[in-house]
């Protein structure tokens, strides 16, 4: 019996002309943009794409459902975080049963006896298709709780308050905020950041006094330069409230006296273009990680009398060409520096008497980060650790001796045995002679270094964000089917320091795409993957990467996952009304300037689609995405479908309830993974999707 082939939605063509710098582009799908997300024709087309995606992949439904259950079965249903002491209480997050979200509790002892329930995120989320708990902040006297929540996935938060002594909710509600909030030391005043609803940028800091209406709140600071993101924090000694301002290449900081509920904003030192820094204060000393005359940053200290003059800051740790300073945590008798050398994270503990040592780990490649260390007086530092073969692990490390105490390792159900898997860190030579780091993992029994294994390669490569090798229980589903999983640490990240980032941005952006493709070719040449069984995946700026590589090297990939992708770079960067555009000029360039226009035009995935054969492609997005608008992938798919000359799969899935981060909840998000894995396995088997139902059992 023949099976009818699903028919792809064909979008109407409405030519829209755009001219800049004596160059004209025609966008036939510009009509798909709807800022209000109410256009019935747009919604109907997205729903038609969703139906088509489901129809094309329907023969794999058995496999997809099986994958979802497999992914879900590895997750411990009843679990809790390691208790953290802050003040008089120990705090913990817990998940149980089939609940999607945690509950949060505290107790007066580490054993968590007689716990007090603070917040049940499941109860808060029950009437919403999407839910994100942003910040959770306890007042200094530990009697009040403030938290922020987003229920439409646009990263626009509302703030609520609870009296922990009575369990009653306060009438105060703060609307349209960023997620962060900070208590002043009087236990009655809260600072928060208000959002511009059009651009979705936080640009105003307000002071709210409990018991008053939001419209009575006092504006304490407004940032006029829309290239800056805004956030809030508190100094280590809780004496200062910080207003963080950061553009791509410039940082700034303003402060308020945390003990004065009527404090005025003060600036510690002048804003300087190109100066990036991180600052904290403990007692009478400021600690500053600064790139001033130090591309990879150096550590300096200052006092109240010298902080205003950068030339009076005292150098504690000098700049090193091969070492990037990434962060600092202050304790009464020590400080801990997070450093990166040759792509690998390390922690160096410094005593106030100038003694120092490095905390040691054994994996060939791994990621570790400082966990919650809320009290400067504590004599240990909490560290979270993971590798491609080691599930998330929590240690307490004695600051005096360096002795590690294992507190917990995340349990992976389903018979996982780390010894059955192997990870490697290697370098692939790029076309310009650059060595590109790669982290990879595979199952030993299913791996043959003879070019026969399928391989999934992941990349990001933007904003200086480094994608470190961490454990993923989801990836096991591919490794257990013979896949190799590789992370390409391409230029645009800070894997090899600040220069590695600078070589993958602005006029040098093409290096990012070249690196990814060169890693693919190198892995094939070295026998890690089969030439005809290579898959690629990336999201957001990594989605731009995917859009670029399928234009520039489509023959290298059997299938590509393109998620919440930034694809129409030129049009977006020319439109300051689109959220976050102005913040991106120092990353991508300002195309109102011709040189930047030409650079972006040369790689912009939407503008460079052409009539040729493309790989199998799965595209996903969220209708309410506030970072990359839904119409970018929508337009790209419509244009690609009208131009590609092959019969390969092209499907587009829009989560009508989600935003940039995808589905919320610990189980619902696994459905997205199951969808992509089923897509990859279909492509890998090279079985026509209309026949796939008959071979699902083989997996």
Catalogue the active-site residues. Answer: 540, 625, 660
Q: How far apart are CA 250 and CA 240, in angstroms?
A: 22
Q: How far apart are CA 687 and CA 678, in angstroms?
A: 12
Count CA within 13 A, CB hemisphere, residue 108: 1
Helix (H) or strand (E) run with residue 616 in it: strand 616-622
Strands annotated E in 5-56: 16-20, 23-27
Q: How far apart are CA 55 and CA 51, in angstroms?
A: 6
Count CA within 13 A, CB hemisphere, residue 409: 12
Dmax (CA) of the chain: 85
Q: How far apart are CA 593 and CA 615, in angstroms?
A: 34
First to last CA, the chain: 24
Q: How far apart are CA 562 and CA 543, in angstroms?
A: 5
Q: How far apart are CA 160 and CA 147, in angstroms?
A: 6
Count CA within 13 A, CB hemisphere, residue 11: 28
Best CA proximity match to 231, nearest among 273, 288, 278, 290: 278
Q: How far apart are CA 199 and CA 251, in angstroms?
A: 20
Q: How far apart are CA 426 and CA 345, in angstroms?
A: 16
Q: How far apart are CA 180 and CA 373, in angstroms?
A: 18
Beta-carbon count within 10 A of 70 CB: 18
Both tokens of residue 404? 């590690």
Q: How far apart are CA 63 and CA 494, in angstroms?
A: 38
């Amino acid at each position: 019996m023949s099976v009818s082939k699903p028919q792809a939605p064909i979008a109407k063509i409405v030519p829209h002309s755009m001219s800049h710098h004596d160059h004209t582009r025609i966008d036939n799908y510009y009509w798909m943009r709807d800022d209000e997300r109410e256009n019935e024709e747009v919604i109907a087309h997205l729903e038609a794409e969703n139906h088509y995606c489901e129809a094309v992949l329907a023969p794999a439904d058995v496999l997809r459902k099986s994958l979802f259950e497999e992914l879900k079965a590895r997750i411990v249903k009843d679990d809790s975080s390691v208790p953290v002491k802050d003040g008089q209480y120990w705090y913990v997050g817990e998940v149980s049963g089939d609940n999607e979200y945690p509950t949060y509790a505290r107790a007066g002892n580490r054993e968590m006896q007689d716990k007090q329930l603070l917040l049940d995120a499941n109860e808060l989320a029950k009437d919403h298709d999407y839910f994100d708990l942003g910040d959770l902040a306890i007042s200094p006297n530990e009697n009040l709780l403030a938290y922020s929540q987003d229920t439409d996935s646009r990263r626009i938060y509302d703030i609520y308050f609870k009296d922990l002594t009575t369990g009653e909710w306060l009438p105060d509600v703060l609307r349209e905020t960023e997620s962060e909030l900070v208590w002043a030391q009087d236990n009655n005043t809260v600072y928060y950041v208000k959002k511009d609803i059009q651009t979705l940028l936080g640009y105003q800091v307000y002071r709210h006094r409990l018991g008053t209406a939001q419209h009575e709140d006092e504006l304490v600071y407004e940032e006029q330069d829309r290239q800056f993101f805004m956030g809030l924090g508190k100094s280590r000694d809780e004496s200062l409230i910080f207003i963080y301002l950061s553009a791509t290449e410039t940082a700034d900081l303003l402060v308020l006296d945390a003990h004065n509920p009527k404090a005025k904003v003060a600036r510690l030192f002048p804003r300087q273009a190109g100066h990036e820094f991180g600052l904290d204060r403990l007692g009478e000393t400021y600690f500053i990680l600064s790139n001033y005359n130090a591309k990879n940053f150096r550590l300096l200290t200052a006092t109240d009398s010298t902080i205003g003059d950068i030339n009076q800051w005292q150098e504690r740790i000098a700049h090193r060409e091969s070492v990037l300073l990434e962060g600092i945590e202050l304790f009464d008798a020590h400080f801990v520096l997070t450093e990166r050398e040759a792509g690998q994270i390390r922690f160096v503990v410094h005593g106030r008497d100038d003694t120092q040592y490095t905390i040691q780990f054994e994996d060939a490649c791994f990621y570790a980060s400082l966990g919650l260390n809320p009290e400067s007086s504590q004599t240990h530092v909490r560290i979270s650790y993971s590798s491609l073969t080691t599930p998330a692990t929590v240690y307490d490390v004695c600051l005096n001796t360096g002795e590690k105490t294992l507190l917990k390792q995340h349990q992976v159900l389903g018979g996982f045995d780390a010894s059955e898997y192997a990870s490697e860190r290697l370098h692939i030579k790029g076309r310009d002679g650059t060595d590109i780091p790669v982290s990879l993992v595979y199952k030993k029994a299913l791996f043959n270094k003879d070019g026969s294994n399928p391989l999934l390669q992941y990349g990001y490569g933007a904003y200086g964000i480094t994608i470190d090798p961490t454990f993923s229980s989801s990836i096991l589903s591919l490794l257990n089917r013979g896949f190799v999983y590789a992370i390409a640490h391409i230029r645009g990240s800070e894997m090899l320091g600040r220069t590695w980032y600078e070589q993958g941005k602005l006029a040098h952006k093409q290096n990012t795409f070249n690196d990814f493709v060169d890693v693919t070719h190198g892995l094939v040449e070295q026998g890690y993957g089969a030439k005809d069984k290579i898959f690629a995946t990336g999201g957001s700026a990594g989605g731009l990467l995917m859009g670029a590589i399928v234009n520039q090297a489509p023959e290298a990939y059997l299938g590509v996952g393109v998620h919440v992708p930034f694809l129409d770079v030129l049009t977006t960067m020319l439109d300051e009304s689109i959220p976050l555009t102005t913040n991106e000029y120092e990353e991508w360039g300002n195309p109102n300037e011709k040189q930047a226009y030409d650079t972006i035009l040369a790689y912009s995935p939407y503008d460079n689609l052409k009539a040729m054969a493309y790989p199998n492609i799965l595209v996903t997005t969220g209708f309410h995405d506030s970072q990359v608008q839904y119409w970018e992938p929508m337009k790209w798919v419509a244009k690609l479908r009208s131009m590609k000359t092959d019969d390969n799969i092209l499907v587009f899935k829009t989560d009508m309830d989600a935003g940039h981060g995808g589905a919320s909840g610990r189980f619902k998000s696994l459905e997205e993974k199951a969808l992509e894995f089923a897509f990859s396995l279909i492509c890998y088997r090279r079985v026509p999707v209309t026949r796939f139902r008959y071979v699902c059992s083989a997996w």
